[in-house]
Amino acid sequence: MQRTLGTCYYPEHWPEEVWEEDAARMAAAGLTWVRIGEFAWARIEPAPGDLRWDWLDRAIAVLGQAGLKVVLGTPTATPPRWVVDKHPDMLAVDAQGHPRKFGSRRHYCFSHAGYLEECRRIVTLMADRYGRNPYVAAWQTDNEYGCHDTILSYSQAARAAFRDWLAQRYQSVQALNRAWGNVFWSMDYARFDDVDLPNLTVTEPNPSHVLDFRRFSSDQVVRFNRAQAEIIRARSDAPIAHNYMGRVTDFDHYAVGDDLDIASWDSYPLGFLENVVGAGDSHKRRYTRQGDPDFQAFHHDLYRAVGRGRWWVMEQQPGPVNWAPYNPAPLPGMVRLWTWEAFAHGAEAVCYFRWRQAPFAQEQMHAGLLRPDSAEAPAMDEARQVAAEITEAPQVQPAQAPVALIFDYEADWAWDVQPHGAGLSYFGLVFEGYRALRRAGLSVDIVRPEAAALTGYRAILAPGLMILPNDLKAALLETEAQVVLGPRAAARTRDMAIPAALPPDLPGIDLKVTRVESMRPDMPVPLAGGGAVTGYLDEIAGAGETELETETGQPVARRFGVLTYLAGWLDGPGFDRLVADLADRAGLTLRPMPEGVRIRDTGTERFWFNYTDATVTTDAGDLPPAGVLRQPL
Ligand code: GAL
């Protein structure tokens, strides 16, 4: 498949006279896609029922006639003021009980029935009008579900919907009381309508209550997105995407993705660096103009799973952004590197955000491919270079990786509800495992927590799966791959209770977690032979062969045939040892990477990426700063 490039454009921000020239310049730069429309509701419908499609008709025609393919966004992330006036209680409410007011974006509660109806109406009108438009070649639903912390809402609408959700799940309030253990602290309810949302309680609410609220909130996003996808699908054959985010795990992306054709995500490597889990200040200084060497790849691999193989980067950082604590400019070459890295991981398209920097409103400080005066910004040259390269160079041939890493959204919520130690997060744990696999030069597929996703791998890393359904448990025990499970594997039932037989309760395996402890991050427990446990440790009893232990002889990794139980959160060197053992048993070749260099194997090539600002000598030759190298396999 020919990889393609694109950009995000806002015709409503610019005088109509410049559209044609903009379109011609996009096409001349080698761009294929142009995403529009996702924030334009107030220009499409300035007052209830007053529909102004004329400008959007013309914008689509101008872009299409220049040879570009349009990705049309539904405008539901930015309901105009009149929608809020019509439905004043549609605003989301934060955990402190404050409404999240009009004046920016994403000011809606997923549970509000009236707002959902408004969305159905505008999406129907839009799909009726453009569903068969020859220039509209893809759709995007809404924009970045979860951006600005907008999944959890403590509104009246959410409360009513949560009660219904609970009634359907538990059928009787006695069953709910039993499942949650409400006898503790006299929290029993007499009816579902007694159940409130889990905020503003005196001390922490019941973890079972919070976990169910997280599941409910995720289901509300799935429902909201499905409503739009069904309307578009009935009116258009063009594929439907949503643009997900980095490091946002507040809803089940797999479940949303199942209603879509393509997963896409918005990649801002420098913006993300300050928030990257586990990265200290020296790491941030070192990669300030390049981004973390594993963070983008992690999301590429994750969204490939969310999109069931089809995925894009819908927004690619082109220069300094406006929203991180510090907003440096990328090292020359990085925009090209980020783009090629996405392609190497299987992206069909990479679109730069945004075409032209806006001189007004919230994102004045956000670079685009063009400056506000329409002159080229530095990223433009790199985009043009990639455009030339993708037409001349061989096609990327994706292939299944030898190693699978399971990522489970529910596990992330369970850790969040009950982290046991400050700063411990499931995402952080999985990401540490991913980093270690990549430092070892292994290509990784991130996979869903489903038995069917596990076929064909030589090694499977499944850290932190706190709630482990029986079929997945069985699949992990039956696979011929080498498997690492833990810490906190099957630590809770689906009701968020400790299992009666104690975790991990693996059939046929003599292993019990008898005690758990969390520790200050500045007090690592050294492992015999190098590396350490930091932050979290399961105390385990039973049989098995010890693979890693603390200096005082406490087991940290125990092997039972092809299964290894990992009992602690390892530091980098500890994870490197675990991965080296895993690769060895799985018959995989270790290729320890020079610092800041990463590889990704496709079916025919090995891609090399240099995230450092210096030339690095590798097995494949010298890699300049921000260098990309393609080596035939
Ligand atoms: C994304 C968002 C865009 C824009 C961009 C700025 O999160 O989807 O609309 O705000 O960030 O970096």
Q: Confirm or reject: Cβ of 431 under 6 Å from ligand 1.
A: no
Distance CA 611, CA 613 (A): 7
DSSP summary character for residue 50: B
Distance CA 208, CA 494 (A): 9
Q: Tell me the sheet residues that pair with 485.
A: 462, 565
Helix axes 54-65, 19-28, angle to 10 degrees: 30
pLDDT at site 392? 92
165: Cβ below 6 Å to ligand 1?
no
Q: What is the pLDDT of residue 394?
A: 86
Q: Tell me: the pLDDT tens digits for 148-181? A: 999 999 999 999 999 999 999 999 999 999 999 9
Q: Name the average pLDDT for the chain.
A: 97
Does any ligand 1 atom lie closer than 6 A to the CB of residue 10? no
| Ramachandran class of 616: left when φ > 0, alpha when ψ lies in -120 to 50, beta otherwise | beta
Cα of 311 vs centre of ligand 1, distance in Å, is 18
Q: 13 in helix, strand or coil?
A: helix
Say yes or no: CB of residue 353 within 6 Å of ligand 1: yes
Q: Do domains 4-151+221-392 and 403-586 have the same CATH topology?
A: no
SS3 letters across 140-169: ECCCCCCCCCCCCCCCHHHHHHHHHHHHHH
d(CA 262, CA 327): 30
Is 38 a pocket residue for ligand 1 (Cβ < 6 Å)?
no
CB 354 within 8 A of CB 10: yes
| pLDDT reported for residue 624 | 98
- What is the best residue among 41, 264, 266 to mutate for testing ligand 1's pocket, by most ligand atoms within 8 Å of CB? 266
Q: How confident is the model at residue 275 (pLDDT cuts 50, 70, 90)?
A: confident
Q: How far apart are CA 39 and CA 48, in angstroms?
A: 17
Q: Say how many Å lie between the CA of residue 243 and the centre of ligand 1.
A: 10
CA-proximal residue: ligand 1, atom 12 (nearest): 321
Amino acid at 593: M
User: pTM of the entire structure?
Assistant: 0.98
First vs last Cα of the chain: how many Å apart? 19
Tokens linked to 424: 């411990």
CATH superfamily of 403-586: Class I glutamine amidotransferase (GATase) domain (3.40.50.880)
User: Best mutation site among 38, 353, 363 for ligand 1, i.e. most ligand atoms within 8 A of its Cβ?
Assistant: 353
Instruction: For the beta carbon of residue 83, count every other beta carbon within 10 angstroms.
Output: 23
User: What is residue 274's predicted lDDT score, i.e. its pLDDT?
Assistant: 87
71-111: per-residue pLDDT in tens? Answer: 999 999 999 999 999 999 999 999 999 999 999 999 999 99
Interval between CA 451 and ligand 1 midpoint (Å): 35
All residues at 6 or more sequence positions from 227 whose CB lies less than 8 Å from its CB, including other chains:
116, 119, 120, 123
Q: Which fold has domain 4-151+221-392?
A: TIM Barrel (3.20.20)
pLDDT in tens, 530-571: 999 999 999 999 999 999 999 999 999 999 999 999 999 999
**What is the 630 CA–ligand 1 centroid distance (Å)?**
31
Q: Is 315 in the pocket of ligand 1 (CB under 6 A)?
A: yes
378 has a pLDDT exceeding 90: yes
Residue with the two structure tokens 């799909």: 127
**Mean predicted confidence (pLDDT) in 373-396:** 96
Residue 248 has pLDDT above 90, yes or no: yes
Q: How many CB atoms lie within 10 A of CB 601?
A: 18
Please name the residue whose Cα sits nearest to atom 9 of ligand 1. 143
Average pLDDT on 318-338 reads 97
266 DSSP β-pair partners: 315
Domain parsing of the chain, residue ranges: 4-151+221-392, 403-586, 597-632
pLDDT at 277 over 90: no
- Paired residues of 598 in beta bridges: 609
Residue 486 CA to residue 588 CA, distance in Å, equals 22
User: Is residue 358 lining ligand 1, measured as CB closer than 6 Å?
Assistant: no
**SS3 labels along 401-450:** CCEEEECCHHHHHHHHHCCCCCCCCHHHHHHHHHHHHHHCCCCEEEECCC
Active site residues: 144, 315
DSSP letter, residue 365: T
